[in-house]
Amino acid sequence: AQSVTQLGSHVSVSEGALVLLRCNYSSSVPPYLFWYVQYPNQGLQLLLKYTSAATLVKGINGFEAEFKKSETSFHLTKPSAHMSDAAEYFCAVSGVTTDSWGKLQFGAGTQVVVTP
Amino acid sequence: EAGVTQFPSHSVIEKGQTVTLRCDPISGHDNLYWYRRVMGKEIKFLLHFVKESKQDESGMPNNRFLAERTGGTYSTLKVQPAELEDSGVYFCASSYSGGAYIQYFGAGTRLSVL
């Protein structure tokens, strides 16, 4: 069975400061990992994904995440927060076989507030 | 290219009534998924269609929920009769067979059962 834990349901960050959102997973084999973002009144948008290639993954809007197998982590970072980064962020995991990757399991989400 | 579209965006019904949610996936996507987020909880998987067939419906909460995908195109999710605990946001997602692990989500339908 797989599961995802996001530390911190709410994060407040100053504009220009580092954004760090934590995600830890539990899986018997290295899974596929994803970060999604939901802006107000919009659907979930894929930020980036890890699918067993490079461990450092770059996504859209300046975000990146690093897969660390030893720590079972997939933390999301952005060097400098912008006001437009205010949104809810979700970490998700899926299996890596054709019969298991259709079922995403999500963390509880982290609401990011950016202050001027 | 249009994204995943869900109707309605918001539905308010009374306990015991019936509600039908609709999802139009991205054109050409064989895989269609339904998820639900109850207030304060994680987004939870409900079921997965491949074309018109149910691949995995392990997340469906009970037999008050019925999902269909006629002709492998759009899908509907019917709740009959609705209960208070069914309130939440229902998301639909789709993916194509060549990259089935990348799911594209709609904006969701917010269901309020009073």
For every one of its 116 residues, what pLDDT tens digit does chain A have, with 9 covering 90 and above? 778 999 999 999 999 999 999 999 988 777 889 999 999 888 899 999 988 778 899 999 999 999 998 999 999 999 999 999 999 999 999 877 766 767 899 999 999 999 99
Instruction: Pick A102's closest partner by Cβ from B44, B48, B104.
Output: B48
CB within 8 Å of A28: residues ≥ 6 apart: none
Residue contact B42–A107, C-beta within 8 A: yes
Res B5 pLDDT > 90: yes
Contact B31 A102 (CB under 8 A): yes
Contact residues on chain B for A36, CB-CB shorter than 8 A:
105
pLDDT at B82 over 90: yes
Coil, strand, or helix at residue A60?
A: helix
CB pairs under 8 A between A and B: 57
B16: left (phi over 0), alpha (psi -120 to 50) or beta: left
Give residue A31's pLDDT.
84
Cβ contact, residue pair B101, A51, below 8 Å? yes
* Residues B34/A93, Cβ–Cβ less than 8 Å: no
CB A37 within 8 A of CB A47: yes
Residue B2 has pLDDT above 70, yes or no: yes
- Chain B residue nearest residue A92, CA to CA: B43
